[in-house]
């Protein structure tokens, strides 16, 4: 197991590669602290568009972009500024059965001059083992007044074909359908499949959610995040995005953990840790692959 630091042509730290046990690995760009690759048993689990910009010119289309302090459109640019800022690597090491990297983002003159002008500290830890990826952010209010925010981990899962991907754990949960402009719709299905443009916010999801495909599944456990966003642009929306291949919607599904239907509020000095644990499991039983 190892931690590798990779610089760009200008000699600046560009990304970190974590190599774990049993052919597991993860790659994290310092731009946005975006996880762009997660391999378990040598198989890629995340989707990144072949047209994604990896030069810092815009947010990465794929992997796990970080949404903070605003989900969607609003006073700030789409999805806030965390995914388009360079984060500082503050630690990385091999430990026990895995390896981790930790990044930090703080306010600066630009963020304090924005429509969200508060002082903050974010610490983001990515922890890799043979069959798991843990992504946890510690949000700290370092200002002298309260603030609130929405936050999300915009995880793009790679699937062999979208028509074989099934999401479970959402039955009886109320959701907002952003495509149809409908609120408080009740999910009636045990197994949710996508066959059209979908953009849904499931609120106050009670338990574990899983994505199944090709004889295996990724189990998604949330920590202090209330909601799940389910997204796929389908053909028409995919064709409208310059950093997304026209047919790539067939190889991905976004199942995103966050708190976006409501807000997280922190008092001065208050800290909350939120995140997810992704685990690769057999689709037929509870034994890990």
Place of tokens 């970080």: 66
Tokens of 141: 């209010």
Which domains occur in the chain, in start order? 2-282 (2.70.98.10)
Which of 213, 249, 212, 209 is CA-nearest to residue 228? 209
Average pLDDT over residues 233-244: 96
Residue 218, pLDDT > 70, answer yes
Mean pLDDT across the chain, nearest whole number?
Answer: 95
Q: What is the pLDDT of residue 288?
A: 41
Region of residue 94 (phi > 0: left; psi between -120 and 50: alpha; otherwise: beta):
beta
Q: What is the pLDDT of residue 289?
A: 37
The residues with which 167 forms a beta bridge, in sequence order, are 192, 211
The residues with which 255 forms a beta bridge, in sequence order, are 230
Summarize pLDDT for 83-122 with one digit per residue, the tens: 999 999 999 999 999 999 999 999 999 999 999 999 999 9
Give the pTM.
0.95
Active site residues: 154, 256
Summarize pLDDT for 242-288 with one digit per residue, the tens: 999 999 999 999 999 999 999 999 999 999 999 999 999 975 544 44
Summarize pLDDT for 162-206 with one digit per residue, the tens: 999 999 999 999 999 999 999 999 999 999 999 999 999 999 999
Query: Could you tell me where the DSSP H helices lie in the chain?
Result: 109-112, 234-240
């Amino acid at each position: 197991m190892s931690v590798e630091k990779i610089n760009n042509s200008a000699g600046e730290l560009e990304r970190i590669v974590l190599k774990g046990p049993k052919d597991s690995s993860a790659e994290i760009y310092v731009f946005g602290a975006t996880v762009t690759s997660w391999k378990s048993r040598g198989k890629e689990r995340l989707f990144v568009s072949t047209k994604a910009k990896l030069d810092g010119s815009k947010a990465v289309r794929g992997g796990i972009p970080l949404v903070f302090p605003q989900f969607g459109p609003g006073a700030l640019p789409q999805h806030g500024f965390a995914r388009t800022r360079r984060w500082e690597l503050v630690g990385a090491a091999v430990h026990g059965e895995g390896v981790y990297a930790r990044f930090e983002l703080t306010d600066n003159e630009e963020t304090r001059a924005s429509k969200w002008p508060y002082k903050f500290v974010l610490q983001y830890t990515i922890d890799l083992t043979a069959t798991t990826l843990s992504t946890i952010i510690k949000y700290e209010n370092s200002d002298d007044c309260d603030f609130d925010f929405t936050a999300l981990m915009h995880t793009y899962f790679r699937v062999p074909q979208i028509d074989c991907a099934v999401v479970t754990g959402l039955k009886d949960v109320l959701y907002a359908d952003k495509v149809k402009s409908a609120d408080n719709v009740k999910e009636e299905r045990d197994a949710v499949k996508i066959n059209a443009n979908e953009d849904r916010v499931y609120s106050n999801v009670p338990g574990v959610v899983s994505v199944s495909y090709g004889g295996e599944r990724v189990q998604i456990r949330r920590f202090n995040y209330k909601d799940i966003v389910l997204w796929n642009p389908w053909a028409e929306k995919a064709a409208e995005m310059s950093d997304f291949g026209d047919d790539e919607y067939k190889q991905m599904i976004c199942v995103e953990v966050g708190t976006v239907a409501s807000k997280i509020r922190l008092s001065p000095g208050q800290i909350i840790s939120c995140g997810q644990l992704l685990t690769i499991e057999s689709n037929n039983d509870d034994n890990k692959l």
